[in-house]
Structure 1
Amino acid sequence: MRAEYIDDANQELYVLQYFDKVKESNHIVKMLKHEIKQEDNELDTMYIVLELEGHDLFDYLAQQIKGSSEEEILETSTYEDNLIKIIGGAALPLKQFHQHGIHGDVKLENFVLAKEQSQNDVFVKLIDFSTSVLENQSPTNEFIKRSVPYKAPEIWNTNNACVYEDPKKRPNIDQIVEYLYNDVNIDYHLTEEEQKEIKNRERQKIEDERFLKKLNNKKRGRLHCWFCGLC
């Protein structure tokens, strides 16, 4: 194993082993087995076997909007309803994780669909814990540096460790919802030029405000302060 990956691999294993002992962790992906072997090149290789789940939320949303024009996506409620399900589904894994630590790399690719789904909700599980920090650990400068490009809500608009020391400095739920909504919109169906065009249109501003109000009204009970690790 290359030296630069050792800490990541060890942290991934540590977090998986930790949650294996946590009773309420059905939204955290489970490790089935792990093994460390010395290969021919004399470098240790770590193998981690996880339970098999489905697509990540990035691919899931892409499938939901496939074949729809950008105008249709922005003007119909179908896209909004799907987005509400996705953000609401992502809240539960974060609730469970943030009772024990900070994930540090919150993005749609790190949520995967569980094999068993209901018709009304999107049941997802959280993955990828190499940059996570549990409550019995301390965040490092490397953790902060590596997480910033992904704008993880835990460290969004904050300096190094203040989110761990002072929960009041963390973003509130409205900021996080808006962050996720904007992030999803940019990731999926808008090029850079299209982003500029739509941002200049008053209709888009109205659509955004209407969506955020709808999301907060429908999912307020699930998207709470724990979404950003306040509790």
Structure 2
Amino acid sequence: MNVQIFIPCFVDQLYPSIAFNTVKVLRKAGCTVEYNANQTCCGQPAFNAGFWNEAKDVCNKFVKDFKGSDYIVTPSASCTGFVRNYYGKLFQDSSKSNEVRELGSRLFEFSEFLTDVLNFDDTGAVLNGKATYHDSCAALRECRIKEAPRRLLSKVSGLELTEMNDVETCCGFGGTFAVKFEPISIAMADQKVSNALDTHADYIISTDMSCLMHLDGYIKNKNAAVKTLHLADVLASGW
């Protein structure tokens, strides 16, 4: 199966290992992975900040970069949810409305693509320790992703997965929300990390590095005894 990979801008700039591990796992699942080096951003940051015209320019480029019939896979539920749910609003009643709708049907978050499209859930990964999983708002509410990452993690040898309290509560990041409402954002991170620590987990795992980046900043500031890991890094470990 031929797959186009979309790497979110912040992953490209700050966490490139996630991109490489996503490709590694997809190839093990039998995919031929292609990367269009012209790709940039899905447009979500500008859209969320209220700059819809500027966002539309970026979104137009995304549509152009991913023309074709291949599946598009990204290690970000946030980007997936934005393209699926908001491109239609930006291009409503335009000549691109059908193209945008078709593109959204080809775009999948990494974990749901593995389980729902490929029916592939055992990468042969090994990670010894205890983990708890964080449902990002984008994955849970915009993409309806709940079981896919847990199914994949259940196959990781040596990993014990334990649910934390209030697992579906937001981590507090929310993009510019963390900047505009810093005290609230920090309090939400404190609640999320406290719930994770109560499980005695070694790792907090999620589909979204944006959430984990926020939580990791809080963890390091408080010297908390837990680490953050993106799902792709977990599934690529040990082989």
Task: Give the TM-score band, short-chain normalised.
Answer: under 0.3
Q: Normalized against structure 2, the TM-score is what? A: 0.25
Q: Normalized against structure 1, the TM-score is what? A: 0.26
